[in-house]
Structure 1
Amino acid sequence: MVYQATELPPPQSDQSPDNPPGNAPRIKLRDGRYLAYREQGVPKNQSKYNVIIVHGFGSSKEMNFLAPQGMIEELGIYFLLYDRAGYGESDPNLRRSVKSEALDIQELADQLEIGSRFYVIGVSMGSYPIWSCLKYIPQRLAGAALIVPVVNYNWPSLPKKLIREDYRRNLVQWTYRFAKYAPGLLHWWVTQKWTPSTSVLEKNAAFFNTHDIEVLKKIPGFSMLSQEKIRQRDVFDTLRHDFIVAFGDWEFDPMELSNPFLQNEGSVHIWQGYEDKVVPFQLQRCISKKLPWIQYHEVPGGGHLIVHYTGLCEAVLRALLLGEEPLTLDQIHP
């Protein structure tokens, strides 16, 4: 039983109908992996602002970032979305690390020739690659935004008093232990038909507030987190490795980072929902207090899915690209 708990079922063949060949454009990285991407907005040869968007857990380059089309054309914004390692049509990275996420972004930008400096926006779990960019490639950044960024409870500078009683900390720690040391048991558990579905479409009130649940009625959801998908070995491996890296031991403490924009040539922003049940606002307030050069924006009544709220993407872009005061927060709504 112990052996079975630590072992996973064999992966499906790449020729399986569950793994059809992709049609997205891809680049070949230095280590031989392929990274799939999608371009949106104005053509990059006509753009004034180049923005790389990093998707979160169980998502992909097909995620929605609902900026008004008129604004995109008026400002000349080029968006580059990509599948992080193992997601969508990108190859997995068996050596995935916090640092490798930043290096993937840098190589993607270089191969697509979007300029020496660019903006990055990370959503939820896609925020840890943004912290990595701030650490390892700050000279390439024109600005950065983190939307409902996950917080690693292992960061040394987090006050113990603040996280000691947080039930989310225990949930993350136990999931991390099973993912790292007993992946077979974790895979068995999440694929049992008699257990609750892992799909976010279950509208679980433990993770989503009422505004989020209204959003889930309008968006396609996250099919990669469904039991049907997570049964697939390659999908499970990708989610497991992503989780382990995000919540494992990092080589640096983000709360010790220095301001990369000492001459105010760029800015960094955190956007957080006050009613977020995945990442509590108290943690984000603590981070922004420790790093006063980060501009902190809190959405009253906002849950974990604020990136899908009307007005949020426009507010993020205006603050990040133009340095404008965001829309009044009561204008951001599901």
Structure 2
Amino acid sequence: MVALSKVALVSTVALLGWAYQATRPPAPAILGAPGGLPITSPRVRLKDGRHLAYMEAGVHKENARYKVIFVHGFASTKETGFPVSQVLVEELRIYMVFLDRAGYGDSDANPRRCLKSDATDVEELADALRLGDKFYVVGCSMGGYVAWSCLNYIPHRLAGVALVVPAVNYWWPLPDDVRRIAYGKLDARDQRTFWIAHHAPWLFHAWLTQKWLPVSPIIRGERGAFTAMDWEILTELRRKQRESGQVDPAKTTQQGTYESLCRDATTLFGTWEFDPTEVKNPFPDGEGVVSIWQGYKDRIVQVEIQRYVARKLPWVRYHEHPEAGHLLPDMDGVGDEIVRELLLGGAPPGSQLQSEPRQDQDG
């Protein structure tokens, strides 16, 4: 009995020691330090001393008619870009800026990162690059929560906003039936992971990095998190990225998973400082467009929540593709549709996207 008690005591102490170490956030890798990670992107200095990395594309800023900031998604960087054709860029004279969000790529980590700080990062980048009083924002997937933050915190700076397959929070103030249906469609491993991100964010890094229990297929980017069409598009995108050498997957989390992936999940699934369904229309006189673009078959972002939010905000243009999944913007021509409507205010003739959801499956 004494021997068993000693074993139990040692095991308990070891478990507590592991838990203590596992829940302590690791320090981020320091960019630009001697012998450390090199900085390979242009950056702007923010008011709090951090640096934000960016990449320019499209026409020269001085010749541009429209200036658009693109916000990347989860486990991504500015190099991922957005599918806008050169024909459209030149036709409309679009200047494009892609940024690394805090903790991703060459942008410094933000220990105080929150919904508001992500919005002010966008605003400070625009000011540093002298984009003018107003600019356009496109937030894709996880970058969608940054777009919501911009609508809430800096609406006076916006000329238009497109939320493309924007990530949703299952703990927003939602009707019980909407939450139940949407959350119930998730894989049990996704449910468990998102629950931890919301209820125990201090444990999330340990959960994401442990090897004993299965973690979210969505966060892992596993095959089952995508539709067959999504996977085909994603496979082709990855092939092109490998051949071009322009996208380095290692840069996504080079400062550590805690400052990139973990902060993303805990910010998105945490308790929000505002309710997106109560965001005010920044364009009451119709001088700009706010749109949501969603794939009906998306397995990563549930359509029921997207529809509910769109109904609560009648001034938002809601587009839903009946066959698309999460790779909706990468379908042929859809990226151009999104940008064209954002800048010009009207969807082009022959658009594949529906402005109303499918009635036969509408929850």
TM class by smaller structure: 0.7 to 0.9
Distance 1:323 1:136, change over 3 A: same
Residues 1:176 and 2:197 aligned together: yes
Query: Which range moves more in the overlay, 196-205 or 317-326?
Result: 196-205
Amino acid at match of 1:164: R
Q: In 1, Cα distance between the equivalents of 2:134 and 2:280?
A: 18
SS in 2 for 1:66: coil
Amino acid at match of 1:132: S
Alpha-carbon offset, residue 70 of structure 1: 1.4
Give yes or no for contact 1:24–1:37 (8 Å, CA) kept in 2. yes
* 1:295 matched residue in structure 2: 317
The equivalent position to 1:266 in structure 2, one of 288, 291, 302, is: 288
Give yes or no for contact 2:55–2:98 (8 Å, CA) kept in 1. yes
Residues 1:208 and 2:222 aligned together: no
* 1:118 matched residue in structure 2: 135
Alpha-carbon offset, residue 144 of structure 1: 0.3
Distance 1:188 1:76, change over 3 A: closer
Query: Which range moves more in the overlay, 239-248 or 24-33?
Result: 239-248
Q: In 1, Cα distance between the equivalents of 2:64 and 2:129?
A: 13
Q: In 1, Cα distance between the equivalents of 2:36 and 2:353?
A: 42
Alpha-carbon offset, residue 198 of structure 1: 6.3
Give yes or no for contact 2:68–2:137 (8 Å, CA) kept in 1. yes
Alpha-carbon offset, residue 3 of structure 1: 4.0
Alpha-carbon offset, residue 316 of structure 1: 0.4
Compute the TM-score of the two structures, normalised by the length of structure 2. Answer: 0.81
Give yes or no for contact 1:4–1:185 (8 Å, CA) kept in 2. no
* 1:315 matched residue in structure 2: 337
* 2:359 matched residue in structure 1: none
Compute the TM-score of the two structures, normalised by the length of structure 1. Answer: 0.88
Give yes or no for contact 1:122–1:147 (8 Å, CA) kept in 2. yes
Correspondence 1:140-151 to 2 at 5 A: 140-151=157-168
CA distances 1:221-263 after superposition (whole Å, capped 9, x unpaired): 8975x8x986x77233321112111111111101011111011
* 1:247 matched residue in structure 2: 269
* 1:50 matched residue in structure 2: 67
Alpha-carbon offset, residue 203 of structure 1: 4.9
The aligned length equals: 325
Alpha-carbon offset, residue 154 of structure 1: 1.8
Distance 1:64 1:309, change over 3 A: farther
Q: In 1, Cα distance between the equivalents of 2:142 and 2:70?
A: 12
Residues 1:164 and 2:172 aligned together: no
Alpha-carbon offset, residue 194 of structure 1: 9.4
SS in 2 for 1:146: strand
Q: In 2, Cα distance between the equivalents of 1:331 and 1:262?
A: 25
Cα RMSD of the aligned pairs, angstroms, is 3.0
Alpha-carbon offset, residue 177 of structure 1: 5.1
Q: In 1, Cα distance between the equivalents of 2:100 and 2:330?
A: 19
Residues 1:32 and 2:52 aligned together: no
| Structure label with greater radius of gyration | 2
Amino acid at match of 1:136: Y
Q: In 2, Cα distance between the equivalents of 1:163 and 1:177?
A: 15
> Is there any run of 5+ residues in structure 2 with no aligned partner, and where?
1-14, 242-246, 355-363
Identity of paired residues, percent?
42
Amino acid at match of 1:235: T
Amino acid at match of 1:236: Y
Give yes or no for contact 2:75–2:252 (8 Å, CA) kept in 1. no
Give yes or no for contact 2:198–2:270 (8 Å, CA) kept in 1. no
SS in 1 for 2:54: strand
Amino acid at match of 1:57: F
Distance 1:11 1:106, change over 3 A: closer
The equivalent position to 1:284 in structure 2, one of 299, 302, 306, is: 306
